[in-house]
Chains A and B, each alone.
Chain A
Amino acid sequence: MILRDVRKNKRKTFFIVSLFFLFVTLFVYFLSVLFFDNVMIAVIFGLTVSILVSYNAYYYSDKIVLRLNKARVATKEEFLQLNYILEGLCIAANSPVPKLYVMEDTALNAFATGRNPENAVICITTGLLNKLDKNELEGVIAHELAHIRNYDILLQTIVIVMVGFVVILSDAVTRSMFYGKSSDDDNKAGAIIAIIGIIFIILSPIFAELMKLAISRNREYLADAKAVELTRNKDGLINALRKLTDDTEVLEQANKSSSSLFIVNPLVKERKKKNSLWSTHPTIDSRIERLQNIQ
């Protein structure tokens, strides 16, 4: 049952990512139809910027995120049990042991980052450590480990880069339209394509953002399912999720840009909202419901 869930999720992610690529292709096509003489410059500009961003994101994202969240290493001397839980889960998953960090914060939350399982980091708040029992901690850490093993962090990076590409290009094009050439070919079909194209380009950043969020939500379900596959104990994760939502402490370092990385949305206000196109995480209720359906 778990495996079928995982397969379904993977297919969905693949579908969204393909849609994304199709979208970017369409975007570039409209661009070249409308602004043929400067599209090369636009593409080169957009690509350079997004490659630079992606390179930095790929190699330094973990360090940047850790510094943003003011995390420190969880040593064995200080957090023996936590280290043992992580090591145990890594044995079950047959994966390298990620580095373990803690954030001094009373809020209950956790996230994973890095570019591959060999260079990954799991970070949890001290509040989480104090309020969760061992089974619940296992569930949370298994969830983060699942994100790492699914290469969700890499997927996230690719998606962010694609969104960046679309946004930057769309911005550049919208600007250049003010200086742009007048339409020489005044036939009707050309005008319609031009209008659709312009609307498409202007609206594209919004679509791009929506697809990014859809992928992020989808991966949460997948990580939950995989976590249960590891711990063979769904109650741990379910109870942990309940405690995490009921908690009203605000994570001080939380901001919108990194919120999709966390196990539950660190922005407390957003947490109670219904599932919508704009949410980074599925509602806890729907996650618990899916977890209960496993097996």
Chain B
Amino acid sequence: MQEIILGIIIVVALIAIILIIMYNRFIQLNIRCNNAWSGIDNQLKRRNDLIPNLVNVTKGYAKYETETLEKVIEQRSGSITEIAKQNEEISKNVSKILALAESYPDLKANQVFMNLQIELTGTEDKIAYARQFYNDCVQHFNTTIMMFPNNIFANMLKYKEREYFKVSDEDKENVSVKL
């Protein structure tokens, strides 16, 4: 009789330990996703701070493009996919304006513009890298909570799959074709 009780205690303790480990793993991965997200967010904010300067410098050269850019920035967006979509739009317009500058020698020689160009392309790269890291984290988190037996426990704790930072699957395919 005593042995049976002891056995039950051991089994219960083992299950408890496994659950604790699982729980901590979920929390750890979730926090990592949050941190990765704030990494993207920081860079997006940084770019939004730079863009008014770009608009000021290039207004006289690319009126239509700067107006479009200003419009895109003003849009408020909620979900991650929406933010990703807006990000794509802004990137497209920024690179369009930077490319336009190539045809204006006086703009190209402007020191303020030159610095802005380096800062903006640097920030664009950082956004891309932050997105890469965030998507890796999300993938890791999603696979972890979907695997058996994690999925049962994750469901109980109401952990849901997280959204990737990308526009849509179609767009992703387009990009890979270009490569």
Contacts and interface: CB of A to CB of B under 8 A. Distances in A.
Interface of A: 80-81, 84-85, 87-89, 91-94, 232
B132 A92 contact: yes
Interface in B30-48: 35-36, 39, 43
A88 B125 contact: yes
B118 A89 contact: no
Nearest to B179: A233
Contacts of A80: 115, 118-119, 122
Interface residues of B, number: 17
A91 B122 contact: no
B130 A92 contact: yes
Contacts of A89: 129
Nearest to B32: A94
Interface of B: 35-36, 39, 43, 115, 118-119, 121-123, 125-126, 128-130, 132-133
7 contacts: A80-B122, A81-B118, A87-B126, A88-B122, A88-B128, A92-B132, A94-B35
A93 B122 CA distance: 16
Contacts of A232: 132
Contact of A91 (B115, B118, B130): B130
A230 to B, nearest CB: 8
Contacts of A94: 35-36, 39, 133
Contacts of B125: 84-85, 88
A1 to B, nearest CB: 16
Contacts of B122: 80-81, 84-85, 87-88
Interface of B is mostly: helix
A207 B59 CA distance: 68
B9 to A, nearest CB: 38
Given A84-B122, A92-B130, A94-B39, 19 more contacts: A80-B119, A81-B118, A81-B122, A84-B118, A84-B119, A84-B121, A84-B123, A84-B125, A85-B125, A88-B126, A88-B128, A88-B129, A89-B129, A91-B43, A91-B129, A92-B129, A92-B133, A94-B36, A232-B132
A85 to B, nearest CB: 7
Contacts of B119: 80, 84
* Of listed A85, A87, A89, A94, residue having the most chain B CB within 10 A: A94
A84 B115 contact: no
Pairs A-B, 3 closest by C-beta atoms: A84-B122, A92-B129, A88-B125
Nearest to A84: B122
A81 B115 CA distance: 10
Contacts of A88: 122, 125-126, 128-129
Contacts of B43: 91
A94 B122 CA distance: 17
A85 B35 CA distance: 21
Nearest to A233: B179
B72 to A, nearest CB: 23
Contacts of B35: 94
